[in-house]
Chain A
Amino acid sequence: MGSAAPLLDVQGVTIQYKTSAQLVTATWRVGFQADRSDRLVLLGPSGCGKSTLLKAIGGYLTPTEGEITLSGRTISGPGPDRVMVFQETDQLLPWKTVLQNVAFALTASGRASGQNADEQAMIAIRTVKLEKFADSYPHTLSGGMKQRVAIARCLAMQPEIVLMDEPFAALDALTRQQMQEELLELWSRSQFTLIFVTHSIEEAILLGNRIVLLSPHPGQVKEIMDVNLDDPGNRFHGRFDELRDTIHRVLFKDVGDYVI
């Protein structure tokens, strides 16, 4: 295909969970695209299938209908070209120190080896300002610090696409703001492609240049908005409130009908 083809293409994706008792449709014919260096945010209420979509992009789930392609190739399984930062705080390997966790990600995925891996890992750890804790084990870190290690590990691997599932949800407001700023700073340095899941409207506007709004269970695309604020991360941008109101209206359209 030509150069206009998107990096990530999600086409009509339906994902169902089969449990022993029932079949749950988590998302229904969802489609969106992300170009290189996009910061695409999946925004929607709890249970609308955001994590499910992210896991499908990560290759952990296979759609029952539709297709997800990366640079034109169908995603068939997990791989180090799409690194995931999970919502859960137990994503670090507890038997490895902070440095070992990051370095192991590099060696296991074949990105670097030996001394080289350690050096690259240390650079990534420095960018999240945790060099003092390089030799600490994860259980001695706070939730926010663990999340930062996970982000460092993800960035060290220099994946084509960074997948983040509500990585800041467990943090206090102050740390969250700090982390959002750090993430944007990191992005402006290396311009990776980011798929970011959240259910906070503010976070979506702050971080995203493109926002996919999803309806409640089962998740369907309600609208795709291009944000393109000239300075992402600015809470006091003139269009911030306007965008928030628009998103609010779209998300709660059906719920709010009776008000009229």
Chain B
Amino acid sequence: MSFEKSAAITRDLSGISREATAFRSHGQPTDQAISEIVRPLSRAEKIWNQAIVRKSLILVLLAIAWQVYAQQLNNPLMFPTFTDTTAALWNAFTKGELGSRVLVSLRILLSGYGIGVLLATVLAALANATRPGNDLLEVLTAMFNPLPPIALLPLALLWFGLGNGSITFVLVHAVLWPVALSTHSGFASISGTIRMVGRNYGLTGLRYLLHILIPAAFPAILTGLKNGWAFAWRTLIAAELVFGVSSGSGGIGWFIYENKNQLEIAYVFAGLLTVIAIGVTMDSLFRLVERRTINRWGMKF
């Protein structure tokens, strides 16, 4: 079989070389020959070249497979069909409280993320400016970066009680260390020339940080922000699953857990799809920022 294939390729190649010699013997290539070599793609080929088209097709195929399998299984308690899940998703958003649950989750996430990023910036700026600051950051990140944020949840519950405070604490922990670490290494990799240029303008302190250090380290910072986000998002859902019931307003994680208890499995699936959708949206948002910044500036490693 493979032999046949390679034989076919050889035949193809010999065809090409025959064409090439014919080409040369004519001296000048004819218009016809050129139109063979440089042919505009047909509309179908162009559409197929769009990654989003091909990926959408995969999604459609997955949905069909899901539907077929679930229908055959016929056990909505274990594995609801695709159509049931979409219906549940629609219901949960229009009639139910999934929309407000999403908002609750995002609000906590944003406050935790914001605090974490701010602290990380302060820590990295200190580390950049002074040697003790540098040592402090290195010791702290070495200690806390390997510690899974969710492992701090019991302690957080003890300190902050059942509520948003605990989740925020865990989220800050999830964001702070990866962002501080990559911002720190970003600052450290800024060339001496760029630093001297900034100081030549008379920039110091906060203005130096904002106008020189942060943009110059932006590729590394963006990577940190992306990792920190992914970390925080996973941690948030996990934490909510464990105890999202604070003051009657849980997030998506709690929505999933609640519906599982009530055996509304289609709604569990709807919650999971929402988690995925938000993750994908944020990912493309980061990619957009990347295109608009470090790609345009030629700073992509």
Q: Interface on A for B, CB 8 Å cutoff?
A: 55, 58, 60, 77-80, 82-84, 86, 88, 90-91, 93-95, 104-105, 108-110, 137-140
A140 and B298 in contact, given A79-B202, A80-B202, A83-B200 (Cβ under 8 angstroms): yes
Within the complex, what minimum Cβ distance (angstroms) separates A166 from chain B? 13
Which residues on B sit within 8 Å (CB–CB) of A108?
Answer: 201-203, 207, 211
- Bound Cα distance from A29 to B113, whole angstroms: 55
Which one, B191, B203, B298, contacts A137 given CB within 8 A? B298
Q: Interface on B for A, CB 8 Å cutoff?
A: 191, 193-194, 196-197, 199-203, 207, 211-212, 215-216, 218, 293, 296-299
> Which DSSP category, helix, strand, loop or mixed, fits chain B's interface?
helix
Tell whether, in the assembled complex, residue A91 and residue B298 are in contact, meaning their CB atoms are under 8 Å apart: no
Best-buried of B199, B212, B293 by chain A (most CB within 10 Å): B199
Which one, B196, B216, B218, contacts A78 given CB within 8 A? B196
Nearest 8 interchain pairs by C-beta: A139-B298, A108-B201, A78-B199, A109-B201, A88-B193, A95-B215, A95-B297, A94-B297
Tell whether, in the assembled complex, residue A93 and residue B194 are in contact, meaning their CB atoms are under 8 Å apart: yes
Tell whether, in the assembled complex, residue B191 and residue A110 are in contact, meaning their CB atoms are under 8 Å apart: no
Tell whether, in the assembled complex, residue B200 and residue A78 are in contact, meaning their CB atoms are under 8 Å apart: yes
Tell whether, in the assembled complex, residue A93 and residue B216 are in contact, meaning their CB atoms are under 8 Å apart: yes
Which residues on B sit within 8 Å (CB–CB) of A137?
Answer: 296-298
- Bound Cα distance from A90 to B298, whole angstroms: 12
Tell whether, in the assembled complex, residue A58 and residue B194 are in contact, meaning their CB atoms are under 8 Å apart: no
Tell whether, in the assembled complex, residue A138 and residue B298 are in contact, meaning their CB atoms are under 8 Å apart: yes
Tell whether, in the assembled complex, residue A95 and residue B299 are in contact, meaning their CB atoms are under 8 Å apart: yes
Closest to A88 in B: B193
Which residues on A sit within 8 Å (CB–CB) of B202?
Answer: 78-80, 108-110
Which residues on B sit within 8 Å (CB–CB) of A138?
Answer: 298
Closest to A107 in B: B201
Within the complex, what minimum Cβ distance (angstroms) separates B127 from chain A? 19
Which one, A90, A95, A139, contacts B191 given CB within 8 A? A90
Which residues on B sit within 8 Å (CB–CB) of A140?
Answer: 298
Which residues on B sit within 8 Å (CB–CB) of A93?
Answer: 194, 197, 212, 215-216
A58 and B293 in contact, given A91-B193, A94-B298 (Cβ under 8 angstroms): no
Which residues on A sit within 8 Å (CB–CB) of B297?
Answer: 94-95, 137, 139
Best-buried of A83, A86, A110, A140 by chain B (most CB within 10 Å): A86
Within the complex, what minimum Cβ distance (angstroms) separates B251 from chain A? 36
Which residues on B sit within 8 Å (CB–CB) of A95?
Answer: 215-216, 218, 293, 297, 299
Closest to A80 in B: B202
Which one, A60, A79, A110, contacts B196 given CB within 8 A? A60
- Bound Cα distance from A93 to B299, whole angstroms: 11
Within the complex, what minimum Cβ distance (angstroms) separates B206 from chain A? 13
Within the complex, what minimum Cβ distance (angstroms) separates A241 from chain B? 36
Given contacts A58-B196, A108-B211, A110-B202, list 20 more A-B pairs with CB under 8 A.
Answer: A55-B196, A77-B199, A78-B199, A83-B200, A84-B196, A86-B193, A86-B197, A88-B193, A91-B194, A93-B194, A93-B197, A93-B212, A93-B216, A95-B293, A108-B202, A108-B203, A109-B201, A137-B297, A139-B297, A140-B298
- Bound Cα distance from A248 to B163, whole angstroms: 80
Which residues on A sit within 8 Å (CB–CB) of B193?
Answer: 86, 88, 90-91
Which residues on B sit within 8 Å (CB–CB) of A55?
Answer: 196
Best-buried of A95, A139, A140 by chain B (most CB within 10 Å): A95
